[in-house]
Structure 1
C-alpha cells in the first residue's frame, strides 16, 4: 500500500511541476490519437501517459494508451493502473455512447463517489481497431464545474490521428422543401415517443418565410388537447437573447455602450468587492465570462411571494468571481437578470424595475416583432392556450410537474421568465436571420448591434462560443446561432443557420425535451447538408442511457421510507441563504419543504456510511441532500458544485 501511495504522489508532483499551456495545436496522445490541450492547464508526459492539471491542482486528467484489452472495462482498469495506481473506486455505471469522430466504440464509466467528498471520477474509453485510448478524470467537483468550458473544448478535439471530422464549410444548403419539412416533423414525432414527451411546438423558417408552424402531440395529457402554433410554453433562458436584443436597441440609440462600466448607468450596482465592481462592463453582465459561478439555489429554494427584482442585485453584491474575467465560461442567471433590469432602468428610471422591464420588452421587442402572445405573466399565460409541464417519475411513469415551481424565476425574469409560442418564436428567429430588418422594411435595430451579441466571448466547446445571451456552434463548419432554455417541465431551443437562411424553433413540455432539441439540431444539419445520419441513433442512445441511470437510481433509493427510518431527519432546519427547510413524515411519506420548493423524498445509503435524502417529485427528481451533524445539531447539506449550503437544525 505504501508503494502505491508513493507512486501516486509522484505522479501528482510531476503534474504540478509542469508548465501551463497556451498552445492550440494538437499533440499525440493515447493509442494513435491527437488532442488539443486545455489552455492554461499544466501538462506532463510520462512515458506514454499524458497528464493535465488545472491551476487549482485538485483535478487530474490522464490520457492513457492501452494496446490490447478484452473490452472497455478491462482497458479502463489497465489505464487507471498506469495513471493512478492507488485508484480503487467501484464503478457506478458503465454506458456505451454512439461511436463518433472516427472511433469504433466509446464507453463511459462513472464511479461511486460519496457526496461528502465533493468530488467526481470518470473514465471514457475510445477504441480504434483493437487499441484503446482512455481519458481518466478524478478530482474536485468545483473545479470541473468551473473549468468545464476549457475541459470540453479540449476533450472534443480527441480523435484518431489523421481523421477528418465532418465539415459543411462551403457546401450549398438545401431548401427546406415539403419533403424535408415532413422528414423533420416525422423525426420529432418518433423522438417524442422514445423520450416520452407529450407535446412540442415546432416552427421552421426558410429564406424569410415561416414555412411551417404548429404543434405535435398534446398540451395536456388528461384532456388530450393538441398543441397548436399559438400554444404557450415557458421558454426559460431563451429569454436572455431577447433581453440582450433590448440592450442592443439602446446601444443603437447611443444610450448604452457595451464597453462602459455598469456603474456609469447604475451607480448602486455591486459585484463582490469594490475593485471587481469597477471592472464590470455592460457586456460582462451577459457574456458568461466574468468568472461568476451559477448561484441558482437561492432563488430556487428561497423565493418568497414578496421577493422582487432587487434580490438579484443583493445576491450579486455579496458574490465574488471564482476565476478571472475572460478566463473561463461560467453561466450565471443573476448577471443576466441584472442586464435586463439595467436596460429597463435606463428607459424608465422612475418605474419599479420589474414593471419597467416588462414594459421595455413589450414596447421594444414583442410589439415590433408582432409577438402578440409572448408574456412574462404566469397567470396570463396559464389563463389561455398553454402546455402543462411533465416529467417521468423515478418509476418511469409520466407525471405532471407542479407548475408553481416555475414561480421562482419571476423576480429574475430577464434570465428566463418568458412564455412564448412556436409562432411568436418563429418571428423572433426570423429577425435574427434578417439581422434586425422587419418585414415592413423598417429596422428593429442595426445589423451591427444585433450581430454584436454573437461575438465569441468565451469558448464552451470545440468551435463553440458563448456571446451575449446567444451561442455560436460552428463545430460542423457552419455557424448555428442558438440558445436553450430550461425550467421545471419545460425545455426549449431555437437554431438559426445564417448561411442557409434557415431557422427552427423547438418548444417542449417535458424534462426530457433537451435531448429532443439537440436531436433536431443534428437532424436539421443532415437535411440541409446531407450529413451523416446520426440524429436517430443519438436519440435512441440518450433514451437508453437515461433509462439505465434511472434504473440505477431506483436500485439505490429507498422510496418506501417508514416513520422509524424518517425519524432521524424529521424536523426544522435553517440556512441564511436558502431559508427554512422542514422535513416531515405524513401520509406514509417523507416530505421536504423549503420556501419555494417541496418534494417527496427517499433515502440513499452512501458507500461511506452517510445517508442522503433524495427528492422524488416530478421536476425535482434527483436532488441529493446529505444528512449530517455539526456538534449536537443535525444538518442537511446541499452542494451545487461551487457552493455548499448547510441547513442546521433549528433551536427548539
Structure 2
C-alpha cells in the first residue's frame, strides 16, 4: 500500500459544484465559479488519460483558496456496468491514509498524550525490531518517516494481499524482519511501521483507531462518505470496484474489495473526492477547519501542522525514465511526517500517492498558491493520476500546456519494454533441458520463515503447488524453470506477482532452504518475496 506504481508511471460539460448546504458542516470548503482557462478542455483531457491507461473510472477534485473549484467523475465504477463515477464515489485511498495517521499522532501531541520524541517502547513496551539498538532508539517520529533501516516494503507480505494475522501479530513479527540498511541512514518506504503508529494512537488515546478517526477527524470535517476500511462500506455506498491487468495485459474487475484491517493506519481508508476536498482544505488552511468568525476551529496546532510538512528523511532525486518527464524532475525531495515533499516550477509541493489492489490515487497541494488536487482511480495505472495532476498544477502555476498523457504513456511503454527485455534475458540464460535434482515429492513439505511463518509445497497429480498459509490469495502451481529452480504461477492472475522459487540443496541432496524473487520488475514491491528465508520444517 504503498504506492502500486510499478506499471508506470458525465454527461454534462465541465461541472462546477453548487454551494455547500449550511446544514452539512462548517468544515466544507465553499464553492467557486471558475476554472483556469487552461482547463477548459479538462473533460477531454481526463478522457484521453482514461483511454491511454485503460482506467474504467476516475474522480477528481480541485480546491483553491478554500473553494471547491471542481469535483467530478468520469467513466464507470465497474467495467461492464453503466454505474457512473461521481464526486461521491468511494475509492480505496490506500497510502494516502498515512497522512491521517500522522495527523492523529500530531493531535495527540497537542493533547499532551505523547511526544514525537518519545521512544516507541514508552507506549508499546512489547515493541521489538530485529536490532536491539533500533528497538531502544526508535521514536514515534521514526514510525512516520521511512528511515528505520528496513528495506523497501519490508514485511508487507504480513498483510499483502490480505492475511489472517491481526494488527498486533503483524507488529510483533517485526522482531524477525531483517534490517538491511542503517537506522536513520537512508530513505526506504515501508508500510508496517504505520501499523505500529496506529497502535500508538490507540494506546495513547484509549480509543480504537477507527473511533479516533471518526470522532476526532472525519466527524469534525464532515467527511460523511469516508470509511475506516472496506469492511465498513455500507449498503447503498457508491463504492468503486478495483481493476487489474491480468498477466499485465487484460484489465478486469477484481472479485471483491480487499481489506487491510490489520494495518489500517498504513492504507485502509476509502473516501470520495468530495470528502478529500475537505481534507485538502483543512491542510491548506494550516489545520484550521473552515468556518467564519467564532465558528472557526482548529484540528491541529500550527506547530504540529508545520512539522508534518518539514523534511525528516531526504530522498535522492533520480533521473526520469524518459526525456519527456525531465521537466518534472524536482530540485529536492524528502519525506516529512506522512507526506512527500518536493518542488515544481518554483513552488513547494506536499503530496502522497496510494496503491491498492485494483486502485491507485494521488493527493497534491501547492501551499503557497492555496491549491489542492486529488485524483482517485479504479485501476493500477499511476500514469493516469500523474498526467491529470500535472495538467492541473500547470494551470495554476502559469505553465504552458504539456501533454503529460503522452509523456507518461512513453514511460509506461518503456517500463513494459524493459520488462520484456528482462524476460528475454532470463530465457536466454535458461537451461531448458535441465531436470530437477530430486523427485518432485522430495520438494514437498512445510518451509518456515522467521517473520512470515509457514509456506507449504504440496505434491498432487499435476506436479507441485505452493501455498502461503496465512495469505489465502497466494496459492499457485510450481512450474519447473531449470535445475532446482521453479516459477510459481499464482492462481489469481491479477496479482501479477509470479516468482522464482529456488531450492538450495547441500552436497547430500538435502534441501536446506528456499529463496524467492519476483519474476517481473513490474511486480509491486509489496510482494517482498526476496526477504523470505524459508527453511524446511522437520517432520515429527
TM-score bracket relative to the smaller structure: 0.7 to 0.9
Other-structure match for 2:226: 374
| 8 Å CA contact 2:90, 2:238 repeated in 1 | yes
Q: Select which of 416, 419, 422 maps to 2:273.
A: 422
Q: Select which of 627, 637, 652 maps to 2:515.
A: 637
**Residue 295 of structure 1 pairs with residue 154 of structure 2:** yes
Q: Distance in 2 between matches of 1:212 and 1:605?
A: 52
Other-structure match for 1:621: 496
**Residue 573 of structure 1 pairs with residue 426 of structure 2:** no
User: Judging changes above 3 Å, is the alpha-carbon distance between structure 1 residues 584 and 214 closer, same or farther for their aligned structure 2 residues?
Assistant: farther
Equivalent pairs, count = 464
Q: Select which of 408, 413, 416 maps to 2:264.
A: 413
| 8 Å CA contact 2:39, 2:392 repeated in 1 | no
Other-structure match for 1:84: none
Q: Select which of 253, 259, 264 maps to 2:111.
A: 253
Root mean square deviation, CA, Å: 3.4
User: Judging changes above 3 Å, is the alpha-carbon distance between structure 1 residues 228 and 590 closer, same or farther for their aligned structure 2 residues?
Assistant: farther
Structure possessing the higher relative contact order (Cα contacts under 8 Å, 6 or more residues apart)? 2
Q: Distance in 2 between matches of 1:303 and 1:399?
A: 19
Other-structure match for 2:407: 538
> Helix, strand or coil: the match of 2:297?
coil
User: Judging changes above 3 Å, is the alpha-carbon distance between structure 1 residues 572 and 217 closer, same or farther for their aligned structure 2 residues?
Assistant: farther
Other-structure match for 2:474: 598
Q: 1:313: Cα distance to partner?
A: 2.7
Q: Select which of 399, 407, 419 maps to 2:252.
A: 399
Q: Deviations over 1:30-67 (max 9, x none)?
A: xxxxxxxxxxxxxxxxxxxxxxxxxxxxxxxxxxxxxx
Other-structure match for 1:270: 128
* Structure exhibiting the larger radius of gyration computed from Cα positions: 1
User: Judging changes above 3 Å, is the alpha-carbon distance between structure 1 residues 207 and 303 closer, same or farther for their aligned structure 2 residues?
Assistant: closer
Alignment of 1:53-452 (within 5 A): 177=35, 179-293=37-151, 294-300=153-159, 304-305=163-164, 307-319=165-177, 321-348=179-206, 356-381=208-233, 383=235, 384-394=237-247, 396-403=249-256, 406-407=258-259, 409-440=260-291, 441-452=296-307
> Helix, strand or coil: the match of 1:479?
strand
User: Judging changes above 3 Å, is the alpha-carbon distance between structure 1 residues 632 and 472 closer, same or farther for their aligned structure 2 residues?
Assistant: same
Q: Distance in 2 between matches of 1:324 and 1:554?
A: 33
| 8 Å CA contact 2:288, 2:297 repeated in 1 | yes
User: Judging changes above 3 Å, is the alpha-carbon distance between structure 1 residues 618 and 218 closer, same or farther for their aligned structure 2 residues?
Assistant: farther
Other-structure match for 1:646: 534
| 8 Å CA contact 1:634, 1:649 repeated in 2 | no
| 8 Å CA contact 1:236, 1:417 repeated in 2 | yes
Q: Select which of 363, 369, 377 maps to 1:494.
A: 363
Q: Distance in 2 between matches of 1:332 and 1:590?
A: 33
Q: Deviations over 1:95-137 (max 9, x none)?
A: xx99xxxxxxxxxxxxxxxxxxxxxxxxxxxxxxxxxxxxxxx
Q: Distance in 2 between matches of 1:520 and 1:428?
A: 19
> Helix, strand or coil: the match of 2:154?
coil
Alignment of 1:505-516 (within 5 A): 505-512=374-381, 514-516=382-384
| 8 Å CA contact 2:90, 2:239 repeated in 1 | yes
Q: Distance in 2 between matches of 1:415 and 1:548?
A: 32
Q: Distance in 1 between matches of 2:92 and 2:342?
A: 24
Q: Distance in 1 between matches of 2:223 and 2:47?
A: 26
| Structure 1, 226-235 or 630-639: larger mean CA deviation | 630-639
User: Judging changes above 3 Å, is the alpha-carbon distance between structure 1 residues 338 and 439 closer, same or farther for their aligned structure 2 residues?
Assistant: same
Q: Deviations over 1:149-182 (max 9, x none)?
A: xxxxxxxxxxxxxxxxxxxxxxxxxx97164444
Specify every segment of 5 or more residues in structure 1 that has no aligned partner in the other structure, as ranges: 1-96, 99-174, 558-563
Q: 1:236: Cα distance to partner?
A: 1.0
Q: Select which of 379, 383, 393 maps to 1:525.
A: 393
Q: 1:551: Cα distance to partner?
A: 5.2
| 8 Å CA contact 1:489, 1:510 repeated in 2 | yes
Other-structure match for 2:324: none
User: Judging changes above 3 Å, is the alpha-carbon distance between structure 1 residues 180 and 587 closer, same or farther for their aligned structure 2 residues?
Assistant: farther
Q: Deviations over 1:490-531 (max 9, x none)?
A: 11110011111111111111122x222222332223222214
Other-structure match for 1:147: none
Q: 1:195: Cα distance to partner?
A: 0.9
Q: Distance in 1 between matches of 2:170 and 2:89?
A: 30
Q: Select which of 309, 330, 349 maps to 1:454.
A: 309
Q: Distance in 2 between matches of 1:361 and 1:454?
A: 20
User: Judging changes above 3 Å, is the alpha-carbon distance between structure 1 residues 211 and 546 closer, same or farther for their aligned structure 2 residues?
Assistant: same
Q: 1:247: Cα distance to partner?
A: 1.1
Q: 1:273: Cα distance to partner?
A: 4.3
Other-structure match for 1:43: none
Other-structure match for 1:108: none
| 8 Å CA contact 1:336, 1:414 repeated in 2 | yes
Q: Distance in 2 between matches of 1:549 and 1:425?
A: 36
Q: 1:431: Cα distance to partner?
A: 1.1
| 8 Å CA contact 2:58, 2:377 repeated in 1 | yes
More strand as a share of residues:
1
| Structure 1, 429-438 or 386-395: larger mean CA deviation | 386-395
User: Judging changes above 3 Å, is the alpha-carbon distance between structure 1 residues 590 and 373 closer, same or farther for their aligned structure 2 residues?
Assistant: farther
Q: 1:651: Cα distance to partner?
A: 4.6
| 8 Å CA contact 2:93, 2:269 repeated in 1 | yes
> Helix, strand or coil: the match of 1:361?
helix
